[in-house]
Amino acid sequence: MLFQKILRKQVVPAVIILLLLVPDIYAQEEAAVQTEGSNAVWRIGFLEIIHQTFSSDDLHPFYQMTGTNRFKGGKGFFGQTVLDPEKNDLIPNISNKNADEHGSKDGFLTKLFSNIPLLKGLPPFSLEYILPTGYDVGIGLAFAYTNIWLDDTKVRAATQGADDSYATPLLRMASHFYMFSASLHPFGVPRPDDLDIFLGFGLSRVESTLRYGIRKNPTIIEYASVTKTELSGSSGMMPFRRMGVASGGDSFGFILEFLLPGINEIIDNPFATNTIIDSTVYDSTYNDRGGALPSKVGMPGGITRMSWTCLLYTSPSPRDGLLSRMPSSA
C-alpha cells in the first residue's frame, strides 16, 4: 500500500511533468542548432595531397617549352606536399628546389618565406572564413598556398622502348601558388557532420623557377660534350575556378577541391631565347614539333587538392550549444 501511495503521489506526477517538458526541451535544442549554426567559421586545411593534370597532351608545359615529343602527354605532379614518408622531408618540394639551387631566381614571396627558420619555406595550407548571409547561403573568403615540383625524368610520357636520357632536354621546375578566392556555400555555413558543397573564383600569384639545359649527348658530341644547365625565374597572375566538397566531425574533417587554372601564359620559356646550344642544332635534335618555341607557357588543366581540415567557430559550435542545453544526468 505504501508503494502504491508513493507511485500515485510522486512518481506519476513526475512522469507527467517530464512528458510536458520534453517537447519544450527539444524545441530549445532545435532553436539552438538553427541559431548557432549560422555563426561564422574558420576552416583550416593541412597535410594535403596534390594531383595535377593538363587539358590536352599538347599543353604540358615542358612540351610547350621544348617541342620534344617525349613530353607530349606527360604527367603532372602527384604526391604529398607536406611530410613525404618516402623522403622523410617536411616540405619535399621545397627541399627539391633548394637542393637544385633555385634560390637565386625565387620570386618575392618565395624568397621572403625562405627565411623561415628550419623550414626554409612555407608549408602548404589553406585558411577560409565562411560567414552567413540573410539568404540561407554562406560566403567564403580564402587564402591557400601550395607548390609543385616537375622533374623531366618523372613526367615524361610513356613510350614504346626505352629512350636514352640524353634524348630529352633537362628540366626541373618548382612552382608556388599563392591563391586568393571567394566562394558560395549553397547550404550555408558548415556545421559538424554536415556536407559542405562550394564553388567560386580566385586569383593566384604563381612564382616559378626552372633549371633547364642539355645533357651530355653523344649524337651531337661537338655541341654537348658535357651537361650544361642554367636557371630561369618568372612570376605572373593566374585566374582559376574552384569547386569541391568538405565534410567534418567535431574536431577534424576532410576536403576535396578542384582548382581549374585559366589559360594564362605565366612562365617564361628560356628555350625560346637560349637553347644552350646552337638553335639550328637544337631544333633538329630536340624540337620534334617544329617551328618557333613560345616565349611564355601556361599550365591549363586542373589541380585536385585533398587535405585534412579543422573547423574553428567564432562562438561555441552548434554541437557545444546543443550539449549545454541537454538535461544533466545527475
Any domain includes 314: yes
In total, how many domains does the chain have? 1
Q: Which helix (H) or strand (E) holds 322?
A: helix 318-324
Calculate the CA dihedral of residues 117, 119, 121, 126 and round it to 10 degrees: -110
Strands 301-313 and 296-297: unpaired
| pLDDT score, position 25 | 37
Calculate the CA dihedral of residues 182, 143, 260, 241 and round it to 10 degrees: 10
Share of the chain above pLDDT 70, in %: 82
pLDDT of 4 over the 70 cut: no
Q: Which helix (H) or strand (E) holds 25?
A: helix 12-36
Any domain includes 18: no
Residue bearing the bigger pLDDT, 18 or 306: 306
pLDDT-derived band at 2 (thresholds 50, 70, 90) equals very low
- The pLDDT mean for the chain works out to 85
Any domain includes 317: yes
- For residue range 87-103, list pLDDT tens digits in order: 778 999 999 999 999 99
Any domain includes 21: no
Q: Residue 124: name the closest of 150, 97, 145, 149 by CA.
A: 145
User: Mean pLDDT, to the nearest integer, of 318-330?
Assistant: 48
Any domain includes 144: yes
- For residue range 197-216, list pLDDT tens digits in order: 999 999 999 999 999 999 99
Burial of 16 from C-beta contacts in 10 A (0-12 / 13-18 / 19+) = exposed
* Domain limits for position 318: 43-324
Longest dimension (CA), the chain: 116
For the entire predicted model, the pTM comes to 0.84
Distance CA 31, CA 74 (A): 55
Residue written as grid cell 549545454: 324
| pLDDT score, position 194 | 87
CB 64 within 8 A of CB 265: no
Distance CA 213, CA 70 (A): 16
User: Mean pLDDT, to the nearest integer, of 210-233?
Assistant: 95
Residue written as grid cell 627565411: 115
| pLDDT score, position 293 | 96
Q: Residue 164: name the closest of 106, 220, 234 by CA.
A: 220
Any domain includes 154: yes
User: Mean pLDDT, to the nearest integer, of 242-253?
Assistant: 90
Rg (CA), the chain: 28
| pLDDT score, position 164 | 80
Any domain includes 7: no
Any domain includes 25: no
End-to-end CA distance of the chain: 29
Amino acid at 27: A
- For residue range 128-170, list pLDDT tens digits in order: 999 999 888 999 999 999 999 999 999 998 665 557 888 899 9
- For residue range 262-295, list pLDDT tens digits in order: 888 999 999 999 999 999 999 999 999 999 999 9
| pLDDT score, position 313 | 86
pLDDT of 70 over the 60 cut: yes
Residue 86, phi then psi, degrees to nearest 5: -75, -40
CB 89 within 8 A of CB 158: no
- For residue range 9-60, list pLDDT tens digits in order: 444 454 444 444 434 433 344 444 444 445 899 999 999 999 999 999 999 9
CB 179 within 8 A of CB 262: no
Non-local (6+) Cβ contacts of 174 within 8 A are 93, 94, 96, 97, 100, 102, 147, 148, 149, 208, 209, 210
